[in-house]
Amino acid sequence: MTKKQLGNSDLHLSPVGFGAWAIGGGDWAFGWGPQDDADSIAAIHRALELGINWIDTAAVYGLGYSEEIVAAALKTSSVKPYVFTKCGMVWDENREVSRSLKTIRAEVEASLRRLQVDVIDLYQIHWPFPDEEVEEGWTTMAELRREGKVRWIGVSNFSVAQMERAMKIAPITSLQPPYSAINRSVEADILPFCLKQGIGVINYAPMHSGMLTGAMSKERVAALPDNDFRRKAKQYQEPFLTWNLGLADLMQQIGSRHGVVAGVVAIAWTRHNPAITAAIVGGRSAKQVDGVIPALEFALSEAEYAEIGEYLATQLT
């Protein structure tokens, strides 16, 4: 397994990191449905045991609950990974989520408590909203780094223009964008900018929230619980659903040649882009983790990458 340095940091990341969105549970606006805590902890332990050396979570995942589960898992693990989390999405007593970059100082203290760590390895602004608060938010992030509360600072879901504004205040270690063979919107401008500027990229949803795992089907989509955000997601509706499942089938065919599942091929497809440092992959059980662990080593040949490219050329808009 080859590790890559994340931007201007001293962090060297395994090709895949453990994404902790789903383990926040289903009791909030962007949940993935019910989740068993014991399964979550087992998934984290398995990921660390097999060589994943970083975990990405966010304060808003489960409204603080994901961070608490990460802490519980690390308390009973002999392996100590890098811990990344995010700020900028807050909630009230009614569990209603809003976005603010004025509360980052209070947010970092809450995340430190929930994670039970003295310092956060990478702290990221989750969304650049409100846009007019980007400069204020990034100034606070730079202050937190100087104060030693966080080691490195990054952004998530920022445009090139927003990154340029932030860079006038302090360097950006990393960007976290969505990137998959289904969602390629960052390819045109954002990934080339990061590559040129030396900004590390840790992409989320490389399997497009489960669509490209090889385990998704029309029947499974129809049976998703009401509190699973995917029920209303565009790419889980027709006519996109049929096209996406066709892509997953192609990835499964390629994976079968190497004894890996479609999800491993989907992750490898994103990592084929030179701008990508590493990919965030969620896991809701140890079994799911076992399925994607080959992504630590697996790479697509140029011919296989081109084969997928031919299918992508027919994508619906």
- Catalytic machinery residues: 61
Cβ contact 9:150 at 8 Å: no
**E strand intervals along the chain:** 4-5, 12-13, 16-19, 54-56, 82-87, 89-91, 97-99, 120-125, 150-156, 174-176, 200-203, 278-282
- Residue labelled with tokens 């926040």: 24
Helix, strand or coil for residue 182?
A: coil
In 3D space, the residue among 151, 60, 53, 69 whose CA is nearest the CA of residue 116 turns out to be 69
DSSP 110-155: HHHHHHT-SSEEEEEES---SGGGHHHHHHHHHHHHHHTSEEEEEE
In 3D space, the residue among 109, 116, 202, 191 whose CA is nearest the CA of residue 156 turns out to be 202
DSSP 244-261: HHHHHHHHHHHHHTTT--
Q: Which two tokens stand for residue 205?
A: 């949803």
Each residue of 81-103: b (16+ CB within 10 Å) or e?
A: bbbbbbbbbbeeeeeeeeeebeb
Q: Which two tokens stand for residue 211?
A: 């669509």
d(CA 115, CA 260) in angstroms, rounded, equals: 33
φ/ψ region of 56 (left if φ > 0, alpha if ψ in -120 to 50, else beta) reads beta
d(CA 106, CA 97) in angstroms, rounded, equals: 16
d(CA 167, CA 70) in angstroms, rounded, equals: 31
d(CA 10, CA 229) in angstroms, rounded, equals: 35
